A and B are shown apart, each in its own frame.
Chain A
Amino acid sequence: MDTTLIIGIAGILASAGPIVFAAIGETIIERAGVINLSVNGAILLTAMAGFAVGVSTGSVLLGMLAGALIGALVALIVAFASITLKQSQVAVGFVLALLCRDLAYFLGNPYMGLSGPRLPHLPIPGLADIPVLGTIFFQHDLMTYMSFVLIVLAYVYIFRTRPGLMLQGIGERPAAAYVRGANVNLLRYVYTVIGGALIGLAGPMYSLSVKAGWKGTISGLDGIGWIALALTIFGGWNPLRAALGAYFFAFLQWLGLVLQPSLPNIPSQVLQVAPFPLMILTLLLVNIGNAEWVDRTLAGLPERTRHALARVLRAMRTSPPAALGMPFEKE
């Protein structure tokens, strides 16, 4: 295989890492029945804070830790407002998204353009030397490996373990989870904070590795959080599908960079921004089976085509946790 392609794939896997973290964090939160719209702001704020801590202490691990803590804190605010105060989750999340972003730009000023530490490369001895696969999978930094582990871990936890079943339960039908012994609101707090910490790791993964440094408004991170949110939804609240979406998005971004030299007529901004609308379009297509007008159109087609299409669409159909965004009160 062509070496630029292999390195390209390895690069895609690494640059999708933070999106994988954010989308899976959000998936866990929404599985518990809470909508957390603050992702975009949280990623910017933790990117800045993680970098600042990294620069001040010289320790990338402390930087990562700071990101996780701040992410957890932001999520805690969402949890408190929505679970305890029973306020609109959408409104609170949205305001936090804006607030955290502005806070990141404002507080980040002193760290603009400084050079800071980076997550070290950790080729895995033995595995890293396997031709092709070694380069693709085993020559990354710690957090990229963690993103692979997270996908599997989150999938197994949600769909295979006992507490994971209950996690699905509290988002699906909290009253039914309650009669099965769950402390619904406590669990929602716990999962929101855990998901928030995962989202909070996405920020420093950028500023200490994938896009090392802090460049304020031109860091190019604004919007990633919304993509992560979209991936959660269109990924059908399934970590595997969300991760696949993250890789696809990273692929589109990579394509933009690669194509740039051969398309001199197109302004580079267009290529930078193009992945966003392309991504949304793809997600819409993947989920077209959920729309009612599709059913109606389908009914007008000849029998063979109808059955074939219906089968494909059904396989792709997803439904949100039924109690998503709804506070649980037993009286």
Chain B
Amino acid sequence: MNVELINIHKWFGPVHANDGITLKIPSGVIQGLLGENGAGKSTLMKILSGFYQADEGEIHLDGKPVKIESPADAIRHGVGMLHQDPLDFPPMRVVDNLLIGHQGGLFPNRAEAIRAMQDLQARFGFNIDPYAYVDSLTVGERQQLEIMRLLWLGARVLILDEPTTGISANQKEKLFATLRALAEQGMTVIFVSHKLEEVEELCHRVAVLRQGKLVGETTPPYRTEELVKMMFGKVVLPEDKTHFSSSDPLLRLENLSIEDYRLQIQNVTLTLHRGEVIGLAGMEGSGQRQFLQACAGIIRPVAGEIYLGEKRLTGRPYREFLEAGITYVPAARLEEGLIPGLTLTEHFVLAEPQNGLVVNRQKAAALTAQRIADFSIKGMPASTVESLSGGNQQRALLAMLRQPLNVLLLEHPTRGLDIESAIWIWGKLKERCRQGTGIIFTSADLEEILHYSDRILVFFGGKVSQPIEATKTSVEELGQLIGGKGF
């Protein structure tokens, strides 16, 4: 289907999120959409898919002007969107997720839905159990489920908003193959991403947004520097690899075993040194999260020992881990890390060691101004955290960490961030390493793991590899390990 967006404007209060965007996408094309955090990509796509309504502008489908007033309208017109965080129902079953919102009689026909699902699975090589609960699926599988649902509903325009942030290299290959096959069948695909390599590999053409405006469109062959310059208005270079690892042991795990109702991690022995960065690779849900939480004292291991220096921490309460200078930063920023509804100032005050009952407003204001400047957060002291863009939420989260810290445990520290913010965040983290902090982090991005880690652990279904020297491996080798080869 041919899609035309004509002079689209959208305001959120004073923020001009889309500023007169005009974009034509012919049928059968995979259109890339790039732009820094807060550029207005999601807003534009939500307008096309009916989630928001434009304040001004028109949408034409196959040359005809259409009014899209709700997502239901959009899907009637054949436009379906895979949202940045999959909009599904985690505690419900896969087939029920497919059925919710599907038209029909009082009693849904599960058999029919499963048949349709199996057809689609065969077509794209997916393999999801229709009776599984969605919260037991990986992020990649949840995306596959959403894609199947949209196709089943008859989507002919498929919008994917940052679909690759949580999935493995393998799943990404599968996704790309699916999208190419769909485009060949005449489907229009819009692919939003921060990862230039992916956009360059997949897209037939690319549009770049900056501060709500369309700043340019290009076609292959792409020049990466040119794309970066369009996105940020300047050249952004990745930092050189830096290493601050010492031989000074910091966190020691001895034969640690962790259990959870889904998986078991057995007998991990590892020493994290001062200044060292250890990256945890693996598909989402292979045990990395449980491992980090055990190191942080949130989950109690079923066997083994945890020491910080000479201090035995095994089985001690979370508070003692905190006092020992061990901090965990979860991936779900708004659910677990920040408190929606509270302002930046309130967050910084809460994170400070407490003395006295009453908040000293002057001190709080000074502290907040300082942190906002130090971490170049785009936001006001009185901004609530949920009104910040993803990149700025992450900055706020890091700005709340105490000084000094011994061990920093990070889950997906740069998920969803644009390149510039990601580089900036890692600059701050490496600065901590230089001061002696040891870091363990997870990421779905193997390049990131290779670039910033000293050593790497690969997780596969709860099994943990021996530590691998980052200098002695490659993305390909890690990719194989993640898929379970060698376990």
Which residue, of A175, A177, A299, A306, has the highest number of chain B Cβ atoms within 10 A? Answer: A299
B83, B102, B106: the one contacting A179 at CB < 8 Å is: B83
Q: Knowing A162-B106, A165-B108, A181-B70 touch, does A176 contact B89 (C-beta < 8 A)?
A: yes
Chain B 99-121 per-residue mask, 1 if CB under 8 angstroms from chain A, else 0: 11110111110000000000000
Partner-B contacts on A (CB < 8 A): 160-163, 165-166, 168-169, 172-173, 175-182, 295-296, 299-300, 303, 306, 310, 314, 319, 322, 330-331
New A-B contacts (8) at CB < 8 Å, excluding given A168-B92, A181-B72: A160-B107, A165-B96, A168-B96, A169-B101, A172-B91, A173-B90, A300-B300, A314-B261
| Cβ-closest chain B residue relative to A302 | B302
Tell me the smallest distance from the CB of A183 to a CB of chain B, in Å.
8
Distance, CA A181 to CA B69, complexed state (A): 11
Q: Chain A interface mostly helix, strand, loop or mixed?
A: helix
Q: List 17 A-B contacts (CB under 8 A).
A: A160-B107, A161-B108, A162-B106, A165-B108, A168-B92, A168-B96, A169-B101, A172-B90, A173-B90, A179-B71, A179-B87, A180-B71, A180-B101, A181-B72, A299-B259, A303-B302, A331-B12
B333 → A minimal CB distance (Å): 17
Q: What's the minimum C-beta distance from B8 to chain A, rounded to whole angstroms?
A: 16
Residues B257-285 near A (CB distance < 8 A): 259, 261
**A177 and B88 within 8 A (CB):** no
Determine the chain B residues whose CB is within 8 A of the CB of A173 once the complex forms.
Answer: 87-90
Is B130 engaged at the interface, CB distance under 8 Å to the other chain? Answer: no
CB distance from B58 to the nearest CB of A (A): 20
B111: min CB distance to chain A, Å: 14
Nearest neighbor of A175 in chain B, beta-carbon distance: B87
Across-interface contacts of B302 in A (CB, < 8 A): 299-300, 303, 306
- Chain A residue contacts of B87, Cβ below 8 A: 173, 175-176, 179
B71 and A165 form a contact (CB under 8 A): no
B53-106 contacts to A, CB under 8 A, are 70-72, 75, 81, 83, 87-92, 96, 99-102, 104-106
Do residues A176 and B51 form an inter-chain contact, with CB atoms below 8 A? no
Number of B residues with CB within 8 Å of any CB on chain A: 33
Q: Is the CB of B89 within 8 A of A172?
A: yes
Is B287 engaged at the interface, CB distance under 8 Å to the other chain?
A: no
Q: How far is the CB of A277 from chain B (nearest CB, A)?
A: 30
Q: Check if B426 is an interface residue, CB within 8 A of chain A.
A: no
The reply on B52 being an interface residue by CB < 8 A is: yes
Query: What's the nearest-Cβ distance from chain B to residue A324, in Å?
Result: 13
Report whether B100 and A330 are in contact in the complex, using a CB–CB cutoff of 8 Å.
no
Given the complex of chains A and B, what is the CA–CA distance between A165 and B302 in angstroms?
Answer: 38
Cβ-closest 6 pairs across A and B: A180-B101, A181-B72, A176-B87, A179-B71, A299-B300, A296-B300
- Least CB separation from B88: chain A residue: A176
Q: Could you tell me the distance in whole angstroms from the C-beta of B288 to the nearest C-beta in chain A? A: 19
The answer on a CB contact under 8 Å between B81 and A180 is no
Shortest C-beta distance, B36 to chain A (Å), equals 22
Chain B residues, Cβ within 8 Å of A162: 99, 102, 104-108
Q: Which of B307-337 contact A (CB under 8 A)?
A: 315
B301 sits at the interface (CB 8 A): yes
Q: Which residues of A contact B70 (CB under 8 A)?
A: 178, 181
Q: Complex formed: what's the CA distance from A254 to B147 in Å?
A: 55
Residues of A within 8 A of B83 (CB): 179
Contact B300 A182 (CB under 8 A): no
User: Closest B-chain residue to A165, C-beta based?
Assistant: B100
Given A300-B315, A306-B302, A169 and B91 contact (CB-CB distance below 8 Å): no
**A303 shortest CB reach to chain B, Å:** 8
Contacting pair A331 B300 (CB below 8 A): no
Residue of A nearest to B76 (CB): A181
Contact partners of A181 in chain B: CB under 8 A: 70-72, 75, 101
User: With a CB–CB cut-off of 8 A, which chain A residues contact B300?
Assistant: 295-296, 299-300
